[in-house]
Structure formats: C-alpha cells, structure tokens
A and B are shown apart, each in its own frame.
Chain A
Amino acid sequence: MLGTGILKGLAVTAKNFVGSYHDPARMVTQEYPDVQPQLPAAYRNFPFLVTENATDPMGTLRCVACQICEKECPPQCIYIEKSKDKKPDAAGKPQLYPAIFAIDTSVCMSCQICVEVCPFDAIKMDQVFEVAATDRFTGLLLNREQLAKPNSYFHEIHPTDADEVDTRLAAERKAAEEKAKAAAAAKAAVVAKPAPAPSATAPKPPPPTA
C-alpha cells in the first residue's frame, strides 16, 4: 500500500535515534582532538630517518648518504649533501653521513620507494598526520634534525617490521664481525708465513691473540 515505505523509513531512523544513545556499534564517530584515532598498522605517511640512539640522534644516524633514495624518489623531494669526513657507524666502521638531509613534505607523496631502496634500513615510513604548518616554504621542508627519530619510535609504530630489521641487522653485524676476524686471522697468517724471508727489514707483527 502507498505510504508503507515511508512508515518503514521512519521506523529505521527512529531505531537509529534510540540506538545511537546506547549501542556503540551504531555510533562510530570518534571525537578526534579529544580521542586519538586508532591507526591501522599498515598506515604510512612521510618518511623519517632512523637513529640508533635517542640521546645522540645526529651522531647515530643509520644513513650513510649513499643518495639512492634521492635518485629514486619519483617526485624528487629528497635533497642530500654528503659529509666531507667520516664517522664510525653502529658496527664501528667509518662511514660518510648526510651533512644535509631534507625532505619537502609538500612534495612527498608517501610512496615508500625510498624505504624500499634503502640498503641500510635508515629511512622508514612514519605515521604522523598532524603536519599543518603556517609557512609552506619553511614549515613543510623538514631537515635532518626534524626527520631523525630513534629506533624505539620505529618499534612503537611498526613493531613487527622493527623486530625483523633489528634481528637482520644484528645478524649482519655479527657476520661482518666474524668475517673481519677471519680476515684478520688470515691476514695475520699470511703475514706470519713469509716473515722469515725478509727477516731484518720489517718489524714482526704481533701474533694473533684471539
């Protein structure tokens, strides 16, 4: 009969009205500034630079200024200048470091390609979204001090990824250490063998102790 559809519709909205007061499943609104949103684990927005140590972020950047991300970045929003000197990295090996590392977030499209190509796990995707600035030229161009965030923060936002990276890096460092030792031992052995021939010219290297 004509009009029954209207009555059904009125019943639906009446149920909505009553339900919105006691049924949390109906009322999905989150009052954002008061209640922080629950971001999905895969949410990503703008890259950040991982540092090993929160107390000395500029000294322990994982980035070695290889500039792969700068070349791969599709919108070319990354700008890197290599350092003139070298600093020891987490494994103690002297490495270059970025004297300037800037990302223009007004250009960045959060594509994650810099993260994919980084061989040092030095750049990762962040979860920030409150990035409004009053000046688009200075406020949105982030320098390395603003980009550096500690590894513990990475653990917070992407726990499984961070664990995986940490175990891999630890294994790599261990392997590198063992390799270095083996190399050192081999070198020592090589040095020790031909030693008797030109005996008087060079001082003898100390025998390997370990």
Chain B
Amino acid sequence: MIIAAIDSYLEVAPLAWRDAVVQWCPEPTQWMVHQLITIVVILAVFGTLFAFTTIAERKLLGRLQNRLGPNRSGLPWWQKGPKLWGLTQPFADAVKTLTKEDIVPAAADKLLHFLAPTLIVAFSLLGFAVLPFGRHMVPVGLDAALLYFFAAGSATELAIFMAGWASRNKYSLLAAMRALAQVISYELPLILSVVPIVLIAGTLSLQDIVHAQGFWTFGFLPHWFVFTPWGFAGFILFLISALAESNRSPFDLPEAESELIAGHLTEYSGFKYALFFMSEYFGLTALSGLGVTLFLGGWQAPCAFLQFIPSWLWFMGKVIGMLLLFIWIRGTLLRLRIDQLTRLAWQFMVPLTLINLGNAAFWALTAGWTGPLQLVRWGVSFAIIVIPFVLMGRRLSAGRRPRTYRYAAS
C-alpha cells in the first residue's frame, strides 16, 4: 500500500509541483506560468542532458578506442582538489565557447548569419513539445503529434542552408547544399519507416501509440513494436535514418572534421558554433525520444512488476540508452562517401521501408489469426522483410568484397 502510494505520488510529483506553483500565481497569468514552467523544465533537463552527453561521448569514444578520454578537469580555484573523473568538462567547454571571439565575415549577411544558429536551436527544440515523457506528462497533447514532430524537425534544414548562404563563402554554400542533399534524402526513409506504426496503431497521437504498446504476455513479454518482425526492421531503418538526419557518424560528412574544415559551419565561431553543436544533440535526443516512443514502448516498463518505477524515469532511461547506442556506433563505423550515402538512401533504405510498409499491412490484416496460424503470421512477416534484405544486400555488394592490402604487413 505504502509503495503503491509513493509510486503514484512519484508518478505525478512533477505535475503536482508545477500545479502548486501555478496556483500560487494570480489568476490571469496562470496559463502562461503553466506553459513557461514546462518550457523551462524541458530546457533545463535536456540542456543538462546535452552537457553530459558530450562528456559521456568523449569518455566512451576513448574507452571504445582503448584511450582514457578527458579525465583531468576538476574544480576551478582548487587545482589540487579531486578530479571528479573529468565530469566538470562540459562547464569548462561552455566557458571556453562563451569567451571565444565571435567572428562575422565582413561580406556576410549579418542578420541571416545571426539568425541561422538561433533558429536551428529553436527548431530542434520544437520536437520536444509533443513527446510523451510519462504517463501524465505530455507538454502538448496534439492529435497529429507525429506529423507535427516531422514538420518541426525538417525546419532545421532551412537553418542549415541559411548558415551556408549567409556566410558568403563558397565552401560553406557547397557544404550546406551537400548537407541539404543528405538530410532531404534521409527524410524520406525516416518518415516511411514510421508509417507502419501509424498503420498498426491507427493514430498519429504519440500518447495513443505508447498506450497501444502497453500490454505484456505472461506479465514480462512487452508488446513493444520492436518485438515484431516489421517493427524490428522499422526500428533499424529508423536508427539509420535518424543517424543521417542528425549528421552523426557514419553520416557526418556535412562537416567531416578530418576532411573538411567545418562544412556549413566554416564561418562560425564561439558560441554560435556551440549553438549548432547544441542543436545537433537536441535533434539527436528528440529523435531518440521519438524512436523510444514509437518502437520501444515509450514510458512503459519492460515488465509488469517493474511498473512501480515512475514512467518518466523509464522514458529517460531508454533515451539515454539510445544515446549510448549512437555513441557506440560513432566509435565503430567509418564515414561514408557522398555517393555511398545517397546510394544507400535511394537504392536500399527507401525500397526496404516501402516493403516494410506492406509487411505492416499484412500484419494488420492478419490480426485475427490465432493458434498455429500465429506461427504462420510470424514466419510470413519475417520472410517478407528478410528475403528482400538479403537479395538487395547481395545486389548492392556485388563485385565489392573486403579490400585486400597486398603491401601492408598482415
């Protein structure tokens, strides 16, 4: 009983605190305070998450490559003090970027040059408005939340081109066009990989999609969409597209740091550069949240008896897990060439997502099959996605075998 009471209190605690503050305010301003608190909490939580994602990324990348990673930044004014495993590094980075000189090229369009980093952060934050963070925690409960998410997310492309154009630098402009080509190429498979969810759940509301995954077989096998053949394929396709959308390695060629100077960010320095960096991580976090919501059961616990842990903790845990997975992938894979990138999108991802859509349609049609027919349903659904995958994989990699290094010491 006590546990249940604590559980339900923790579940609604953030909302209760917000309502308490709102009640304390005068009546005419209550609606505004209500929204402002939500906005401030989202900014604070995800801003902190961004700060610690950067240090986690650097430390994890180090460990994945048998290095130590940053471990030296301790506390200011206490040089001999504890090093805290370098956990204060993000604050040192923030001070560094804030104190750096902000250089605007003489020929640049001053207004657009300033607007681009501001807008890209604003657009990348818009997606957080509709994510269901917990059972009762949806900042804006839109019915067409999924549509809104992609509409808001694709506005960042505008800011990318704005940055390239306003710099008045031919390299920035070319890089911005390359970045746009990449982002628009992968917009299609990203949205197509999500359509099967809409087909099965029958709704565009993210909260309803989470509710559709809220059952357990025998109390411990969750009915998350990722545990179906079409859902698993969709999740992998979504992961690849999300990586490309957020310019993450192995698709980080718009600003390939070892090959280009900084792509469309060439003419940006100091805090404006940090804002682009921030928006990249916000976009990645928002896409991770969307992936969690759509495929990994959102705020649902994996087992029925683990429901005593508040739902928003489950959501944040899953998002952090996704971020760690992205870091792991970045520490492993090599960067693609631009032709490989677009070939992967148009010859592989788009056909597979379309096939997966048909797969989901089959799954929806056979929802009434029971008993041994269930096995047939799973087998057919599995075959629909695996056979094209293997065949297309063979066709794509025909004539391309692992490179042999004749003159290198083996």
Contact = CB atoms under 8 A, between A and B. Distances in A.
A10 B329 contact: yes
Nearest to A4: B393
Contact of B66 (A3, A9, A27): A27
Interface in B379-398: 389-390, 392-394, 396-397
A14 B393 contact: no
Contact of A17 (B60, B393, B396, B397): B60
A12 B63 CA distance: 12
A28 B65 CA distance: 11
A17 to B, nearest CB: 5
A2 B396 contact: yes
B67 interface: yes
Interface in A1-37: 1-3, 5-6, 9-10, 12-14, 16-17, 19-21, 26-29, 31
Nearest to B348: A2
B65 A16 contact: yes
Contacts of A20: 63, 66-67
7 contacts: A10-B332, A13-B64, A13-B332, A16-B63, A20-B63, A27-B68, A31-B68
B60 A3 contact: no
Interface of B: 60, 63-68, 328-329, 331-333, 389-390, 392-394, 396-397, 402
Contacts of A2: 389-390, 392-394, 396-397
A21 B59 CA distance: 12
Given A6-B333, A9-B333, A12-B332, 10 more contacts: A2-B390, A2-B393, A5-B402, A10-B328, A13-B64, A14-B64, A14-B328, A16-B65, A16-B66, A29-B67
Contacts of A16: 63-66
Contacts, number: 45
A48 to B, nearest CB: 32
Given A9-B332, A12-B332, A27-B68, A3 B63 contact: no
Among B64, B66, B331, B333, which residue has the most Cβ atoms of chain A within 10 A? Answer: B66
A95 B65 CA distance: 60
Interface residues of A, number: 20
Nearest to B334: A9
A158 to B, nearest CB: 32
A73 to B, nearest CB: 38
A19 B66 contact: yes
B72 to A, nearest CB: 8
Given A2-B397, A13-B332, A29 B63 contact: no
Among B67, B332, B389, which residue has the most Cβ atoms of chain A within 10 A? Answer: B332
Contacts of B397: 2
A28 B332 contact: no
Contacts of B332: 6, 9-10, 12-13
A14 B389 CA distance: 26
B289 to A, nearest CB: 23
Among A10, A13, A19, which residue has the most Cβ atoms of chain B within 10 A? Answer: A13
Contacts of A10: 328-329, 332
A143 to B, nearest CB: 33
A13 B328 contact: yes
Contacts of A12: 332
Contacts of B333: 6, 9
Contacts of B60: 17
A2 B331 CA distance: 20
Nearest to B393: A2
Q: Which 6 A-B pairs have the closest CB atoms?
A: A2-B393, A13-B64, A13-B332, A9-B332, A17-B63, A20-B63
A31 B397 CA distance: 44
A171 B389 CA distance: 82
Contacts of A26: 66
A101 B390 CA distance: 76
Interface string A31-49: 1000000000000000000
Contacts of B402: 5
Contacts of B392: 2
A2 B396 CA distance: 9
